[in-house]
């Protein structure tokens, strides 16, 4: 294992022959953690989770153990696994679902047991057809194995698990929109408060919502203890973490390593990780945590990939997706594409986001195509300001959910770093990279 | 065919029986309509309205929110090329241009023979294989112009039929197991999904399936440690400590913010 010698956890079984089958899973230690968990009290598992200090891996970076502890008492309560991965350039859950579905199922059962839930759902992104098939087959196998259904492994604990699939909508990854969609409706995010899932989630009942990667760590944590997990990494950036590396690198891919012990440079240049920028080109910019995060320049290369460090520097690791852009990339075009994405995916409930994203896309397009005006640069920021007042980080919002405030960072930071490039587009009437 | 076949009506009922409230089966059922007809016909949406006891307009209103649900015919092969950032900076738009030439159509249209529909799509989560595409949501990447032409030839000749089912078929694996979703409890006030489901109706909803009988115990009794009593129609209150964690001042790290929509709500 590069960087530190810590062994991978969630990706340990990937690459084994037919890693998605029950046989491979059980042959490699699968479902042992569940047996152990069922012999523990739910409270003991929750304590283990708190000591693990496992930050949710979906993007918001909220401590999963704390999230569980906020679950309101009341029955029925539900567990919903957020497998609707669609943040641009994030592809870790996709790999975990297809490659090791039983690990996710085992984590899901442990989570349900710890939280006293008897009905769980895995909401899989509709586009992951193979993932839906493998998960469905794995759930069938798990029932036959006695790991799901009535009286799991003779413990008296019952759990039903349904593999549910969506139909293509980025916003459904937002947890309240996910629940709305799981209720069979348009994926509109709900207003919070009062609709915090832990209190009023699915069908208005207390609901735990956890991400795929987060739950995939659970079997390991139960087997080895929460403190073994939090001993790895640094502070709140505990354990190992999966990073999705894409863009202009020689070896794009998902890499799991001890969190907070590597820098952006390690991730991009290490021969067993990114392997350097392609063609030996100069690095131009990094998007450190998915399309919603503010960009970094090459000056941040030696920054640790660490939750609070990146946060303090004005961006976020988000869903763990690092996008690398080399010198051949047009910053205006890249920012335009991100804005176009948000425009397309805005659910349309809130005016600043619905209208603002469209205006921003049009203004960005006209700059890219050479019909921009110098005043457009101020206009861009003015529209951004309407969506996210003062364009600060972390962002403020004028909208129900955080899709809206995710639009300004790409524009504001690219404009800040590459203002000259915007001006060249305007003055020369076209894109210098065409 | 446009209304559901008797076999598919049964599948709809089986899907509805999986959830505490049958409306939750809406999206899988809409996919099933596409599996049967290749796209969502008006007749199918009317039939779904009857089965769910809601208006066809509400079915349409739900379906129109989602990119994978097509309300007009699409080709047997739906080719979706990702053009989001990672793919774009690796030549996705050039691939779209090439695809348009090869197929002789513009993006978002269908070939005259009904074989291919081409669309530009958002991130497909295969960014390490950029530029990537899916055919009927089966992944291919990285795709060069030559790869694309070969792919189209193979699809036309039916050489990939085992890997790529016709458009509309999302999941070829059937669920064979499971408890029926438990329980009736009153809907939220003002919830259009109104009707409380009864044990009897959820029992009826799945005739002919191999499911075990409905568990008559209350949910509370089914929890292993038994510490949480069953409560119906609860509107739980949030205590102050929960509120403090839910609204950390000036940070984006609460469960409501940051990148939580990123395919993760944690």
* ipTM associated with this complex: 0.96
Residue in chain A lying closest to B219 (CA):
A76
Chain A closest CA to B10's CA: distance in Å? 18
Pairing of strands A119-124, A78-83: parallel
Q: Give the one of B124, B179, B264 whose C-beta lies nearest to A59's C-beta.
A: B264
Q: Give the one of B19, B27, B259 whose C-beta lies nearest to A166's C-beta.
A: B27
- State whether the Cα torsion A57-A58-A63-A66 is positive or negative: negative
Phi-psi region of A303 (alpha: psi -120 to 50; beta: other; left: phi over 0): beta
Average pLDDT over residues B35-46: 97
Q: Give the one of B86, B224, B231 whose C-beta lies nearest to A89's C-beta.
A: B86
CB pairs A-B closer than 8 Å: 404
Q: Give pLDDT tens digits along chain A (434 positions).
A: 457 889 999 999 999 999 999 999 999 999 999 999 999 999 999 999 999 999 999 988 899 999 999 999 988 999 999 999 999 999 999 999 999 999 999 999 999 999 999 999 999 999 999 999 999 999 999 999 999 999 999 999 999 999 999 999 999 999 999 999 999 999 999 999 999 999 999 999 999 999 999 999 999 999 999 999 999 999 999 999 999 999 999 999 999 999 999 999 999 999 999 999 999 999 999 999 999 999 999 999 999 999 999 999 999 999 999 999 999 999 999 999 999 999 999 999 999 999 999 999 999 999 999 999 999 999 999 999 999 999 999 999 999 999 999 999 999 999 999 999 999 999 999 999 98
Residue B191 has a pLDDT of 34
Q: Give the one of A59, A76, A93 whose C-beta lies nearest to B258's C-beta.
A: A59
Hey, are the CB atoms on A338 and B85 less than 8 Å from each other?
Answer: yes
Candidates A102, A95, A131; CA nearest to A21 is A102
Residue in chain A lying closest to B168 (CA):
A129
H/E stretch holding B8: helix B6-17
- Chain B residues whose CB is inside 8 A of the A186 CB are 61-62, 65
User: Can you spell out the DSSP letters for A392-430?
Assistant: -SSPP-SSSSSTGGGSHHHHHHHHHH-HHHHHHHHHHTS
Hey, are the CB atoms on A59 and B172 less than 8 Å from each other?
Answer: no
Hey, are the CB atoms on A88 and B227 less than 8 Å from each other?
Answer: no
Which residue in the block uniquely carries the two structure tokens 């469960």? B255
Hey, are the CB atoms on A158 and B222 less than 8 Å from each other?
Answer: yes
Alpha helices in A183-250 (DSSP H): 197-200, 212-216, 218-224, 226-230
C-alpha span between A131 and A265 (Å, rounded): 32
Chain B closest CA to A375's CA: distance in Å? 26
Hey, are the CB atoms on B128 and A192 less than 8 Å from each other?
Answer: no
- Whether the pTM exceeds 0.80: the reply is yes
For residue A314, count other CB atoms closer than 10 A to its CB.
16
- Give per-residue pLDDT as tens, B158-198: 999 999 999 999 999 999 987 666 544 433 333 333 333 43
A411, A335 contact by CB (below 8 A):
yes
Residue A60 has a pLDDT of 87
* Contacts with B83 (C-beta within 8 Å, 6 or more apart), sequence order: A337, B92, B93, B96, B120, B121, B122, B131
């Amino acid at each position: 294992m590069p960087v530190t010698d810590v062994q991978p956890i969630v990706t340990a079984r990937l690459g084994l022959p037919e890693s998605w089958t029950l046989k491979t899973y059980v042959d490699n230690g699968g479902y042992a953690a569940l047996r152990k968990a069922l012999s523990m009290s739910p409270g003991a598992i929750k304590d283990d989770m708190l000591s693990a200090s496992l930050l949710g891996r979906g993007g918001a970076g909220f401590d999963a153990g704390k999230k569980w502890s906020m679950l309101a008492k009341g029955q029925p309560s539900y567990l919903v696994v957020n497998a609707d991965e669609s943040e641009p350039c994030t592809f870790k859950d996709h790999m975990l679902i297809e490659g090791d579905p039983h690990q996710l199922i085992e984590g899901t059962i442990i989570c349900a047991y710890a939280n006293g839930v008897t009905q769980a759902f895995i909401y899989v992104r509709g586009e992951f057809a193979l993932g839906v098939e493998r998960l469905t087959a794995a759930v069938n196998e798990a029932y036959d194995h006695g790991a799901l259904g009535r009286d799991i492994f003779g413990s008296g604990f019952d759990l039903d698990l349904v593999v549910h699939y969506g139909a293509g909508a980025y916003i459904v990854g937002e947890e309240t929109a996910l629940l709305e969609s799981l209720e069979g409706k348009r994926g509109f995010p709900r207003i919070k408060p009062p609709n915090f899932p832990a209190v009023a989630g699915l069908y208005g009942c207390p609901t735990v919502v956890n991400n795929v990667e987060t739950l995939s760590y659970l079997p390991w944590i139960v087997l080895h203890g929460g403190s073994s997990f939090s001993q790895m990494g640094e502070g709140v950036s505990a354990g190992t973490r999966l990073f999705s590396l894409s863009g202009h690198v020689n070896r794009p891919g998902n890499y799991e390593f001890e969190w907070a012990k590597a820098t952006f440079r390690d991730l991009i240049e290490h021969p067993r990780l990114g392997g350097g920028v392609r063609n030996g080109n100069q690095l131009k910019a990094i998007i450190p945590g998915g399309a919603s995060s503010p960009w970094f320049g090459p000056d941040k290369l030696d920054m640790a990939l660490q939750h609070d460090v990146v946060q303090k520097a004005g961006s976020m690791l988000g869903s763990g997706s690092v996008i690398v852009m080399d010198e051949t990339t047009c910053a205006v075009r890249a920012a335009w594409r991100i804005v176009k994405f948000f425009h397309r995916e805005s659910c349309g409930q809130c005016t600043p986001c619905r209208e603002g994203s469209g205006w921003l896309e049009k203004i960005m397009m006209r700059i890219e195509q050479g019909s921009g005006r110098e005043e457009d640069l101020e206009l861009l920021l003015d529209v951004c300001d309407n969506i996210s007042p003062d364009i600060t980080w972390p962002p403020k919002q004028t909208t129900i959910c955080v899709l809206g405030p995710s639009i300004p960072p790409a524009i504001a930071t690219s404009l800040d770093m590459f203002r000259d490039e915007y001006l060249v587009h305007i003055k020369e009437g076209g894109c210098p990279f065409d | 065919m446009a209304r559901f076949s008797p076999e598919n009506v049964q599948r709809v009922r089986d899907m509805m029986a999986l959830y505490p409230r049958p409306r939750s089966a809406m999206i899988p059922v809409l996919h099933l309509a596409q599996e049967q007809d290749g796209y969502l016909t008006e007749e199918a949406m009317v039939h779904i309205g009857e089965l769910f006891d809601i208006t066809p307009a509400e079915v349409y209103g739900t379906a129109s929110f989602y990119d994978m649900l097509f309300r007009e015919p699409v080709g047997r092969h739906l080719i979706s090329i990702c053009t989001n950032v990672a793919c774009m900076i690796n030549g996705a738009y050039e691939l779209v241009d090439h695809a348009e030439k090869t197929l002789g159509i513009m993006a978002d249209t269908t070939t005259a023979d009904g074989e291919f529909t081409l669309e530009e799509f958002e991130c497909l989560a295969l960014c390490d294989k950029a530029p990537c595409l899916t055919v009927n949501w089966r992944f291919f990447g990285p795709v060069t112009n030559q790869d694309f032409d070969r792919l189209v030839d193979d699809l036309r000749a039916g050489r990939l039929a085992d890997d790529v089912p016709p458009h509309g078929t999302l999941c070829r694996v059937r669920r064979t197991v499971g408890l029926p979703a438990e329980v009736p409890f009153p809907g939220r006030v003002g919830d259009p999904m109104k009707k409380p489901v009864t044990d009897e109706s959820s029992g009826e909803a799945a005739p002919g399936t191999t499911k075990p009988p409905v568990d008559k115990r209350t949910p509370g009794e089914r929890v292993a440690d038994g510490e949480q009593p069953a409560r119906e129609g609860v509107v739980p209150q949030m205590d102050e400590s929960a509120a403090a964690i839910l609204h950390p001042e000036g940070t984006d790290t609460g469960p409501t913010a940051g990148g939580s929509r990123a395919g993760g709500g944690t």
